[in-house]
Structure 1
């Protein structure tokens, strides 16, 4: 595909040289975002959370609530992305929206949050995928459960497949991302028809839409509902990650924002269509929560279809979605790593920011992302609830990284987004405020264990993982960052009021020059 000279010039105005081919379309980015969220897969692998914390009400209405909130967050990010379409994403936006004085530290904090969020969401997707693959064995052996080594090795195998696809199939990412949309839609329809046609017994509409039981959680009744929102919040998190692909898209100021918002809307609708039939045929909750492998969806499919083979057939469709999700998440994580290293914010940045021009990918950033994810999987040897830690810290990091540029824009009167091609207009302030309130609550919620009382091996270590990466980020900042890191480079104004990139007249850094 030919280069987009306008987009390349705009990127140059933001201080970067175009190094990656612009061979992705809006549909491809929509597919990538949809793949990372992987609605049927994400909801299936986290179903034990909502079955513990409220059941039907939390599953359905929690999903609807978080879908609406996620639309607000996606729209807020899209408005900013339309002005600053670069692979730096939220950390670049934080710098550009801040005053000069605070731009470096704002971009440093945001960058590390989004980097850790990308790594941990990739870890959680592929780790739960490994668990789900192993759970297929339990369809024929009810008393079998994988040990720690089997689980971690399977996780590493999934990571290896995703790495190889990203290396050798890089030029096919556009069709792969598009196929994801059709595979997911077809899977949801097939699962819905199969479950509803083969179920011997069905729940009532009252159960599906109004049943609430949080007795298994140990939490107070109302609070359990909010703790259970982790299922929906984790699934609906990855849409902001696609900002890292801006430098591989034609007309990114238009196409990437559209893809962000449309993917969340499509994911919300897909989730409702997927969840309602499952609740109508839901087997005994006690049986589902009692599975030895911790993944109840396989047993649910087996019970409803009446055979292990039937259960595996439906599970295979979910595993297909895992493929797209794992590949897409690792793609976005590698681009995020490359972009942040490009500005010297990661130890060994010169190495991780290199682009392999033979394959036109940031190969070293891809390797680093894969290695970090594989090392994080070792947490499972210390905690059987490691997946909770990955989902929690991924949701916290990505959510807070989204919040920082939105908060800065809000505090500064939304001046630099007022003429955005994707403007929220008069509703912008209200939408931004909803975003900030939710993310503040989410940070508290998703450090909580799914149920109480809790033992050490079942604890949600999200706060520990978060603190560990915070220590690395803070340590590197004091060792090198505070002296060497100046924030993203700026060569000229970007956005709708920009001076043409070919001109150097009236060059400004987008931070309004004041020292506030």
Structure 2
């Protein structure tokens, strides 16, 4: 199918005007709200031009950011990881730890996003903040990591849908045993459906993110209260707050805890989702930081409260450990009603639909931005925006094809596919560390040097808090890169090996090949030419 398209052109950066605008803070705290023309002018000064229409309001971008992470439902869908790797201790204290580390990531990105709200996000910031000699290489590396991470995230989000739905089918009909190919077919059906929705309906139904936000918080409240009210026999305080479960085979509790952090970390999977919609958002310099901070804050409150309530509500741990969908067994035990448990799973799957829709929307904008900068093969094709649909149709279709291919891995090995899902989270955290490390570098050069590249705008942090946030962001990136590659189960065999390191290696080879085969001579990221 051939679609009429239009593509953005690169605009030559305005050196002197950029320095005046950025160095002296054209939009500072207390300044008037920037108009769409102001925001587009700022993009032009960075050498960027966007044909995207700014039709996402501040509340909608908050809803989008929340729907992608959907923290309490992320805990519910991936509970099996923490249950076997530390149990209640890893789950609860892991959420607190991830809130601190993830909060640092949100603060670090919010500060930079308030100055440079672009669809490229982390890799654009890396390009801007890196000394010229290393700018292209480092920003391409960050962009590749972020791009591949969002493709993996898209597959990881969508796979939850068939797992949840077919586990419910097995629960309602114990004679039904889901086969691998069943999961594969449902996965691909959802991949097609979410992609089609993004192409044909997303721009006409921007309010869908508001509905998802309302449904998620309502579902969280109703499920939490119902489980606590209906559960007859509660677990003891000692079980909830001090029980450490080690079904992994690791002898070190520290390693068990750190590998089990993958589940709490999923509450912020896709944290940068709102960032990549910045060029379609009104008043993005203030709306994006608000979306990041609200996602972190509401996510922690809902995920922690939900987890505590669920741990108190169920009665028998063994069936939970052996269930393909542990949260379904917990809801069944807590309510004593299969109808209530079924209803809750329907709510969970509905939240998953909103998350997947938002994830594919965000991933396509990142693909489009990367192509606009001539960073990937077929960039002239991928950077086009459909004039009628108002979305990057080609980027959406290519992302669909990539996710389709990744779904085929599930047919060969669910273990390898699970490693792929973990890889998405690893790459996300590493992409956050790039601009955070560069911001920390500029802080170390003194306040004047820092303000030249990051002038104060709608969101800024005191120097010490900013430095601490940058350091913790780097720490989480390193922690994810190391410990999320560890085998979850010992002893290691071909069937239970964590292949995340292998997936990372393959992705690295593709990125290197693309660099030398295409991007090395073509890629140009945004720069502040007159600053340094």
Q: What's the TM-score once normalised by structure 1's chain length?
A: 0.91
- Take 1:370 and 1:201, find their aligned partners in 2: how far apart are those partners? 46
1:236-251 maps to which residues of 2 (within 5 A)? 236-251=268-283
How far off is 1:386 after superposition? Answer: 4.1
1:291-306 maps to which residues of 2 (within 5 A)? 291=323, 294-306=324-336
Residue of structure 2 equivalent to 1:142: 174
Conserved 8 A contact 1:188-1:273: no
Give SS of 2:132's match.
Answer: coil
Could you list the per-position Cα deviations for residues 31-85 of structure 1 after superposition, in whole angstroms to 9, with x for gaps in the alignment?
Answer: 1111111223211121111110111111111111101211111100111111111
Matched, 1:41 2:73: yes
The count of aligned residue pairs is 491
With 241-250 and 282-291 compared, the bigger mean Cα shift is at: 282-291
1:428 to 461, 466, 489: 466
Pair 420,406 (structure 1): closer, same or farther in 2 beyond 3 Å: farther
Residue of structure 1 equivalent to 2:478: 440
Residue of structure 2 equivalent to 1:337: 367
Could you list the per-position Cα deviations for residues 87-132 of structure 1 after superposition, in whole angstroms to 9, with x for gaps in the alignment?
Answer: 1111111000011111100111010000011111111011112211
Pair 143,369 (structure 1): closer, same or farther in 2 beyond 3 Å: same
- Take 1:202 and 1:297, find their aligned partners in 2: how far apart are those partners? 16
Give SS of 1:136's match.
Answer: helix
Residue of structure 2 equivalent to 1:463: 501
In structure 2, list runs of 5 or more residues that go unmatched: 1-33, 445-449
- Take 1:400 and 1:344, find their aligned partners in 2: how far apart are those partners? 22
1:338-357 maps to which residues of 2 (within 5 A)? 338-357=368-387
How far off is 1:411 after superposition? Answer: 1.9
Matched, 1:488 2:525: yes
- Take 1:461 and 1:173, find their aligned partners in 2: how far apart are those partners? 39
Conserved 8 A contact 1:24-1:250: yes
Residue of structure 1 equivalent to 2:38: 6
Residue of structure 1 equivalent to 2:191: 159
Matched, 1:449 2:487: yes
How far off is 1:173 after superposition? Answer: 4.7
How far off is 1:195 after superposition? Answer: 1.1
Matched, 1:230 2:262: yes
1:128 to 160, 182, 189: 160
In structure 1, list runs of 5 or more residues that go unmatched: 494-508
1:165-176 maps to which residues of 2 (within 5 A)? 165-176=197-208
Could you list the per-position Cα deviations for residues 239-282 of structure 1 after superposition, in whole angstroms to 9, with x for gaps in the alignment?
Answer: 21321101101111111112111111111111012111100012
- Take 2:168 and 2:353, find their aligned partners in 1: how far apart are those partners? 16
Residue of structure 2 equivalent to 1:499: none
Residue of structure 2 equivalent to 1:363: 393
Residue of structure 2 equivalent to 1:67: 99
Residue of structure 2 equivalent to 1:496: none
1:114 to 146, 151, 159: 146
- Take 2:257 and 2:215, find their aligned partners in 1: how far apart are those partners? 31
